Amino acid sequence: MTLTASKEIHWPLDPPDIRWETVPCNYCGRDDTRIYHRERLLYFGRPLVFTIVRCRHCGLVYTNPRLTEHNATYLLDASQDAAAIEAHGRAKLPVYESALDEIEALGKGPNDGRARTLLDVGCGTGHFLEAARRRGFEVAGIEPAPASARYAREHFNVPIYEEDVFAAELPPDQYDVITAWDVIEHVSDPRRFLQRISRWLKPEGILALRFPSAPWQKIKGVILHQILNSSWPSFGATMHLYFFSETTIASMMQTAGMDMVHAKTTLAEANSQNAYINQMKKASQAALRGIEYCSGKKLGNLEVYGRKRPHNDESTAQGEGAA
């Protein structure tokens, strides 16, 4: 069956009411921050100024205050056309294949050391699930956006739970591997998110995450400002709520009973429908590699891999919803 563009619009042409909420640090629970960055963005055609802050105690970077309807734009996925969905998924294939190499190198499985069952949280169009299945994984996905979930089912015939990760009810200790590509920066409660998916992961199972790093978002804004000679909203704070470094994500994974074992940077795929933006992405990537080489620091999108601790490890996670 061919996916066709939906003619149904799920939001009125006028923007939804703009309401803000202020939140404490999601990791340490304190409310003591300094301004990390400010940017101006359009939200349904309305200009807004967003503030990104950094916790003075644990270093977590996050949007605060933030829109209560922070994921509203994702709901417009239902009106996205098939060609755009296809292009977006295919643009990420090189990143997915590289990630599968990493997962297979880490290994996991009681029989032959290889991971077998895999859940992709926020699986989008299912292109990663299909790539994993070709390598012998038994796959499933969670995807709340209707158009993307439908595309994954119709084109790849993969099982999809079409619901939010916090609503999904899956058995504990079920998967050898759980992945979440470009997801954790969007969720309203990343600590609870990690605790929830850790519950579904088998002991010593592999977690793989990818997200835009906090230092790189700030540097990227400076680079693009120099190229374009204008302000550039590098944080994308209408939808991006949290920005991790290697240190802060490792700390938060530990609260969910997982230890980070490996981290690397990956290039952002040129998946915009705007060719000019894609060229800007490529220019920023070239600058990124130069800065990385000179500074010795990891910049760009972070890709991290961790393992769930055994159940008999006394230092395992605090329960979901713990403070």
Q: Write the DSSP string, 134-182.
A: HTT-EEEEE---HHHHHHHHHHH---EE-S-TTT----SS-EEEEEEET
- In this predicted structure, the answer to whether residue 58 has a pLDDT above a threshold of 70 is yes
CA torsion 234-273-241-139 (nearest 10°) is -130
- Whether 34 shows a pLDDT value over 50: the answer reads yes
pLDDT band at residue 75 under the 50/70/90 scheme: very low
Give residue 138's pLDDT: 96
Q: pTM for the whole thing?
A: 0.84
Right CATH number for 20-308 from 3.30.1360.120, 3.40.50.2300, 3.90.1150.10, 3.40.50.150? 3.40.50.150
Containing 295, the helix (H) or strand (E) segment is helix 275-295
Q: Is residue 151 predicted with pLDDT exceeding 60? A: yes
Please tell me the predicted confidence (pLDDT) of residue 1.
28
Query: 207 near 198, Cβ under 8 Å?
Result: yes
Cβ 207 vs Cβ 197: under 8 Å: yes
pLDDT the model gives residue 283: 63
Q: What pLDDT, on a 0 to 100 scale, did the predictor assign at position 78?
A: 45
**Which structure tokens are listed for 186?**
């969007």
pLDDT tens digits for range 198-216: 999 999 999 999 998 887 7
Euclidean distance between CA atoms 322 and 187, whole angstroms: 17
When pLDDT is averaged across residues 295-303 and rounded to a whole number, the result is 74
CA distance 43 to 76: 13
Q: Average pLDDT of 149-158?
A: 94
Q: Give the three-state DSSP class for 5.
A: coil
CA gap 239, 237 in Å, rounded: 5
**pLDDT at position 218, please?**
72
Where do the domains of the chain lie? 20-308
Alpha-carbon distance of 160 to 167, in angstroms, equals 14
Confidence of residue 109 (pLDDT cuts 50, 70, 90): very low
User: What is d(CA 89, CA 115) in angstroms, rounded to the nearest whole number?
Assistant: 24
Residue 74: DSSP 8-state: G
Q: Among 29-33, 102-106, 150-154, 235-239, name the most confident range.
A: 29-33
Tell me what pLDDT residue 23 has: 97
Residue type, 183: V
Q: What percent of the chain has pLDDT over 90?
A: 51
Q: Tell me if 188 sits within 8 A of 73, measured CB to CB.
A: no
C-alpha to C-alpha distance for 139 and 167, rounded to whole angstroms: 20
pLDDT of residue 187: 93
Q: Where are the alpha helices (DSSP H) in 201-235?
A: 214-228
Instruction: Provide the pLDDT confidence category of residue 314 given band limits of 50, 70 and 90.
Output: very low
Whether 181 shows a pLDDT value over 90: the answer reads yes
pLDDT reported for residue 160 = 97
The answer to whether the CB of 204 falls within 8 A of the CB of 305 is no
Output the six-digit token pair for 113. 């050391």
CB atoms under 10 Å from CB of 261, counted, come to 13
Q: Of 10 and 27, which is predicted with more confidence?
A: 27
CB 123 within 8 Å of CB 143? yes
